[in-house]
Amino acid sequence: EVQLVESGGGLVQPGGSLKLSCAASGFIFSDSAMHWVRQSSGKGLEWVGRIRSKANSYATAYAASVKGRFTISRDDSNNTAYLQMNSLKTEDTAVYYCTRLVGAKPFGYYYYYMDVWGKGTTVTVSS
């Protein structure tokens, strides 16, 4: 069974740091790009960032709201992705989901989408 399990969430003060983990199983993790998406309470979904596979140079990209503060990394030997969050702000309070990116070619081009999601881990930034 394909599965993603996030961990590492908790309560942290503004300006603090937290590192989330995403443990993957049931698929070839090293071949997959991994994304992080967050959702504030009662609000919509916000894409946080992604890391590509080794074949794609582990390239990362981030939302403007977290760029320079958050870093996504991965350990293919342990099938785990990470989200290092520094200089946290109250507006970073959210449930954080990790997701797997897959691609399909239904008509000529590769189309990418997030097909598997973890259950999420809650991050609360408050004094």
Partner 1 sequence: DVQMTQSPSSLSASVGDRVTITCRASQSISSFLNWYQQKPGEAPKLLIYAAFSLQSGVPSRFSGSGSGTDFTLTISSLQPEDFATYYCQQGYSTPWTFGQGTKVDVK
Strand 10-12 and strand 121-125: the pairing is parallel
Which candidate, 70, 86, 90, places its Cα nearest to that of 16? 86
Name the minimum Å distance from CB 48 to partner 1: 9
Would you tell me how many other CB atoms lie within 10 Å of the CB of residue 35?
22
Name the minimum Å distance from CB 90 to partner 1: 21
Name the minimum Å distance from CB 29 to partner 1: 18
Contact between residue 90 and residue 96 where contact means Cβ atoms under 8 Å apart: no
CB-nearer residue toward partner 1: 77 or 108: 108
CB-nearer residue toward partner 1: 26 or 112: 112
CB-nearer residue toward partner 1: 42 or 127: 42
**β partners of residue 73:** 82
CB-nearer residue toward partner 1: 31 or 112: 112
- The residues that touch partner 1, with contacts defined as CB under 8 A, are 35, 37, 44-47, 50, 61-64, 97, 104, 106-107, 109, 111-115, 117-120
Cα–Cα dist 116/98, whole Å: 9
Name the minimum Å distance from CB 13 to partner 1: 27
For residue 100, give both structure tokens: 């797997």
Cα–Cα dist 110/97, whole Å: 24
